[in-house]
Amino acid sequence: MEAEGLSVQLYLIRHAIALDAAPGQPDEARPLSQDGIQKFIGVVRGLKRLGVRLDRLYHSPRLRAVQTAELLVPLLEGETEVTPYLAAEPGPELLKTLQGNSVALVGHEPWISDLCAWLLHGRRGGAAFPFKKGGVAHLEGTPKPGQMKLLGFWSPRILRRLGD
């Protein structure tokens, strides 16, 4: 992902508010709600106001994460990539696939919280970092367990207010 010693800006993002599953609908196919879309547009405006620009954007293949990633495209100067590693417990496979200097990962609870704890402390335990739907954590450092530091942990409400 980087030359040794260089710092990476990593944004961990929980997908926006999604609809409840309809009868017979698989969880993977749940779309964002209209309210979730509108609120997350405000989150994106807040991130833009903070000067966030992304080289790469990785997201889970689940529809709600795909749609959330699509809303982040105005911040993106590079490519998006679907990865199954964001729809499962975080592991070294995910970290090996990352490229870029300013990267966003869009995923789900409880895994996005576990990933945050793992990168900051070297051990899992996401209860210390509960992400609201549409919430964002900003980490910096080498994307390895225990090698990153937390620069920001924002609720969607705070980011929306920044974007107003």
Q: What is the pTM of this model?
A: 0.94
- Which pLDDT score, from 0 to 100, does residue 2 have? 43
Phi, psi of 131 (to 5 degrees): -90, 130
Q: Which CATH number fits domain 8-18+26-163: 3.40.50.1240, 3.30.70.260, 2.60.40.1180, 3.30.450.90?
A: 3.40.50.1240
Judged by DSSP in three states, 133 sits in coil
What crossing angle do the helices spanning 34-49 and 156-163 adopt, rounded to 10°? Answer: 60
Domain extents in the chain: 8-18+26-163
Of residues 140, 110, 106, the one with CA closest to residue 125: 110
Phi, psi of 25 (to 5 degrees): -85, 130
- Which pLDDT score, from 0 to 100, does residue 3 have? 42
Q: What is the mean pLDDT of residues 2-11?
A: 73
Q: pLDDT, tens digit, for every residue of 74-131?
A: 999 999 999 999 999 999 999 998 999 999 999 999 999 999 999 999 988 767 889 9
Cβ neighbourhood burial of 51 (10 Å; 0-12, 13-18, 19+): exposed
Contact of 149 with 141, CB cutoff 8 Å: yes
Asked whether residue 6 carries a pLDDT value surpassing 70, the answer given is no
